[in-house]
Structure 1
Amino acid sequence: MAQAAYLHIPFCEQICHYCDFNKVFLKGQPVEEYLQSMAIEMKNTLETHPTTGLNTIFVGGGTPTVLDMKQMELFLKSIHTHLKPVNDAIEYTFEANPGDLSKEKLQLLKDFGVNRLSFGVQTFDDELLKKIGRTHRHKDVLRSIELAKEVGFKNISLDLIYALPGQTIESFYHTLEIAFGLEVNHFSAYSLIIEPKTVFYNLMQKGRLTLPSQENEAEMYELLMDEMEKHGYAQYEISNFSKRGFESQHNLTYWNNDEYYGIGAGAHSYIDGQRVANAGPLKKYMSLIEESGFPYLETHQVSVSEKMEEELFLGLRKTAGISKNKFEKKYGKSIHSIFGHQISEQKDKGLLEETEEMLRLTRVGKLLGNEVFQAFIGVI
C-alpha cells in the first residue's frame, strides 16, 4: 500500500542546460487546466488505490514555485482535499527555485501544511550558474533561505551539483564553505550527468563542452563526503547528507523499494505491485484524464525476480545498506541464496562489505556505485 505521493509541476521560466526532466516553458501554457487535471488524477487514484494515510508528499518539477499565488492556492487546495496532509507528522516538501519565493508565497505554503523546502542551488559560483543556464545568483539563495526561516521553515534542503563544466576542486570547496554557513539541515549533492536531449549533450556532441576529468570528479566526491562529516552531516545515501532526524523520508521510500503514488505529466507510480508511467506531454496527459480519468501510458506488473533485483540496487544506495533479515522475511529466501556469487565478487573487489546483519557499499564502492548495482541486474 502506497504511503508516499510525488506530484509533478512541469513548468519552468528557464530550461537549465543539464535538465532532462519532463518540463515545458511556462509562458502560454494552460496552467489552471493542468492543475484541474491533476486534481482529477489525485481523486481517481486515491479512490482506486486507497491508503491508510500518507507519510510523505513531495512536489517536484519543473519548478513548482513558478505558480502564481492564485494557481498555487488552487493546487494546494486540491492536495488538501484529495491527499489530506492534515497530520503534522507528514513530511510535505516543495521544490523551490531561489528567487521565486516571495514572503507571501512562502506563508501560503506554510499555511497549507508544507513543512520542508528543497532549493535547487547547484553552486554558489555566479559564473558557473550562468554557464549551466540557471537564472538565480548567490545573493538570491541567501535571501530565499532568510525569508523561509522568517516564515518559520525549519526543514530546508539544498541541492548541489559538482563536476560542472570548468569547475575546479577549489571552486567546489568554496561552494561547500558557503553552504555550511547557511545552517540548513539537509544536502543532496550529485555529479553532473550529461543526458540526451539537453543543451549540454548537444554541446558535448560538438566538442564544445569541457568537463572535469574522472579523477577530479572522484576527488570532488571524496571532498564532499569528508567535509559533510566534518560539519556534522551524516551521509545516509550515496548523494544525501543530513543532520540527525532530517533525512528525506520521501526519498527513503524509493530506496527502501516501497510503493508510492505519482501524480502529474510524466510522473511514475509504484502501486499494488505495478510500475505505472504517466503520459509526459501536457496535451496527451490532459486528454487521457478527460477520456478515462487516468493518464497511464505504460503499466508493468513487477515480478518477484525484478523486486529482488530492485531491492539490491536501490537498497545499496543507502549508507546503512540492506538488512539481510528483512530481505529474507520479505521474499522467503536468503539474500545469499539468490545473489551469493555477485556479493562475493563485489566483496573481493573491495566494493561491498558485510556484517552479520547488513550488506553495504564500502567507501570505494560509493565511488563506483553504478558498477556494483549493474552486477545485480539480470541475474535471476
Structure 2
Amino acid sequence: MHSWLYSRLSRVDRLGLYIHIPFCEKKCYYCDFASYSGKRALVVPYLNALAKEIEAKTRGRCFDTIFIGGGTPSYLSSEELVILSGILSGVSRTEECEFTMECNPGNITKEKAKVLWGMGVNRISIGLQSSNDTLLMDIGRIHTFREFRDNFLMLREAGFKNINVDIIYGLPGETLEIFGKTLDDVAMLEPEHISCYSLIIEENTQFYVRRRRDTLILPDEDTEDAMKDLVTSRLESLGFLRYEISNYAREGFECRHNRNYWEFGEYIGCGAAAHEFTGGLRRENIRTVEGYIRSIESDSDAAVRVHENSREDSIEEFLFMGMRLVEGISLNSFKSRFSEDIMDIFGDVIRRHMGDGLLVIEGDRMRFTEKGMDLSNHVLSDLILTV
C-alpha cells in the first residue's frame, strides 16, 4: 500500500457502512441495480450470510453513518427486519449516527416502521419517482401516489423526522406540467430532503431494449432542460437548498452518508454487489444473491474485484466526487492529501474554464458556476490524468 495514500485516507472521524438488500417485488423498467424479484426463498439464507460479513468487517470499528439500500429493503417482512435488526445490534455507532433505510411505497407497514424505529433507523429514503399514476405504471412501479402519500404520513406518525423523497424526471410520456405537479405534490408533504435525477437509460434494462427498438418515447432535449431548470427554481423557492448536483435539503438535513462519498471518505460495504473504500483499496462484492451466499459460506469473502488506488486514481476521484457538491472542493484539503498544489497540476485547465465562466475559486474553495454545473462532464473530462 502506498504510504502517502494510507496516511491521508485512514481518517477515523467519519466512517460509513453500506448494506445492500438485493430483493424486490418487481424490477422497475429503468433499473440496472443489483436487484432481483422472485427470490423470497433466499432472503433468510442471504441474511445469514450478511451477518457473517457484517460481523467480520465491522468488528472494532465505529460508524458515523449507516445506509441500507437495494433493491428494496422494505420488501423484507417484519420478521426478516427483526433478524436484520439483531445482526446490526452489535455494530458500534457514534452518538449522532445517521442511519438511513430505503423504502418503497406499497410495502411499508406500521409494524415494519416500528421495527425500523427500534433498530435505530432515523432517516427514511422513499422512492416515489412521479406523482402521476399513469407514469408510475409505465415505468414499472408497484404503487400509486396515494399509497406513497399514505406511507409518508404513516412514517411521520411513527416518529420519523428526516425523510428523503426520490424523483426522476425525463420519463417516457412526461410533460413539463406533469413534472411540475410532481414537485408541488411532494413539496406539500414537507420532506426534509429531495433527490431529483434525470432518467438515464442503462444497459440491461427494459427501457434500453425499448429504445433500441425505437419504442421508447422520451421528452425532447428542450423539455428535459426545462425540467432541470424547474427543479432548482421550484425547490429553492420552497426552502430547499441545492447542495449537490441532484440533491436538495432543508437546512441541517443534507445526507451525511452520501456526503462522505462525495468528500472521498472511507466506507465499508456489505452484501451482494456492495462496494467499499478503505485504506486506499476499493473492493466490490459478487453481484448475484446465490454467488454471494456461496462465497460467504465457503471463505467469508465475497469480493470479486480489489483495486489499490494509485495517486492519480485518488486525485481524479477526489475531484470527480467533490466537484459534484455545490460548494466544490477545498484547495487546502487537496494539498494536504496529495502534497501538491492543485494549480501546479491543473493550472492551465482551471484558468481556461474560469475564463469560460464554468469554474470559480473563492478563498479556499473551487466550485462550478451555475453554467458549469450544466457542463460539469465537459470540465471534468479535462481533469483526467494520463498515466
Question: In structure 1, what residue type is equivalent to 2:64?
Answer: N
Pairs within 5 Å for 1:11-26: 11-26=23-38
Q: Tell me the residue number matched to 2:221.
A: 214
- Matches of residues 183-202 of structure 1 in structure 2 within 5 Å? 183-202=190-209
Query: 1:252-294: per-residue Cα shift (whole Å, max 9, x none)?
Result: 0110011100110001010111000100111211111112111
Counterpart selection for 1:288 from 291, 295, 299: 295
Task: Give RMSD over aligned pairs.
Answer: 1.3
Deviates more, 1:26-35 or 1:57-66: 26-35
**Structure 2: 5+ residue runs without aligned partners?**
1-9
- SS of structure 2 residue aligned to 1:260: strand
Contact 2:23 2:40 in 1 (8 A): no
Correspondence 1:35 to 2:44:
no
**1:151 partner letter:** A
SS at match of 2:277: strand
- Alpha-carbon separation, structure 2, partners of 1:278 and 1:172: 36
* Mapping of residues 71-220 of structure 1, within 5 Å: 71-81=80-90, 83-85=91-93, 87-220=94-227
Question: For 1:298-337, what aligned pairs fall within 5 Å after superposition?
Answer: 298-337=305-344
SS state at 1:17 partner = coil
Report the residue type matching 1:8 in the other structure: H
How far did residue 88 of structure 1 move?
4.6
TM superposition shift of 1:174: 0.6
Report the equivalent of 2:67: 58
Q: Is the 8 A contact 2:275 2:285 kept in 1?
A: yes
Q: Distance in 1 between matches of 2:384 and 2:220?
A: 28
Amino acid paired to 2:365: M
Q: Answer yes or no: is the 8 Å Cα contact 1:88–1:113 preserved in 2.
A: no
Counterpart of 1:6 in structure 2 is: 18
Letter aligned with residue 335 of structure 2: E
How far off its partner does 1:331 sit?
Answer: 1.3
Query: The residue matched to 2:383 in structure 1 has which SS?
Result: coil
One-letter amino acid of the counterpart of residue 60, structure 1: G
Question: Which amino acid counterpart does residue 340 of structure 2 have in structure 1?
Answer: K
Q: 2-side partners of 1:300 and 1:327: how far apart?
A: 22
Aligned-partner Cα distance in 2 for 1:142–1:379: 50
Match for residue 258 of structure 2 among 251, 260, 269: 251
Q: Distance in 2 between the 1:16 and 1:144 partners?
A: 20
- What CA distance in whole angstroms lies between the structure 2 residues aligned with 1:130 and 1:325? 49
Which deviates further from its counterpart, 340-349 or 311-320? 340-349
The secondary structure found in structure 1 opposite 2:197 is strand
Cα distance in 2 for residues equivalent to 1:375 and 1:164: 31
Match of residue 340 from structure 1: 347
> By how many angstroms is 1:28 displaced?
4.4
Contact 1:44/1:294 (8 A) holds in 2:
no
In the alignment, structure 1 residue 358 sits paired with structure 2 residue 370: no
- Distance in 2 (CA, whole Å) between partners of 1:249 and 1:143 is 27
Whole-angstrom distance in 2 between the partners of 1:306 and 1:347: 24
**What is aligned with 1:232?**
239
Displacement after TM superposition at 1:379 (Å)? 4.2
Counterpart contact for 2:245–2:324, Cα < 8 Å? yes
Aligned length: 375
Q: Which moved more, 1:366-375 or 1:274-283?
A: 366-375
Is the contact between residue 10 and residue 24 of structure 1 (CA under 8 Å) also seen in structure 2?
yes
Pick one of 257, 263, 274 that aligns with 2:270.
Answer: 263
Q: Runs of 5+ in structure 1 lacking a partner?
A: none
1: CA distance, partners of 2:105 / 2:40: 23
1:378 to partner: Cα distance? 3.2
Q: Secondary structure at the match of 1:262?
A: strand
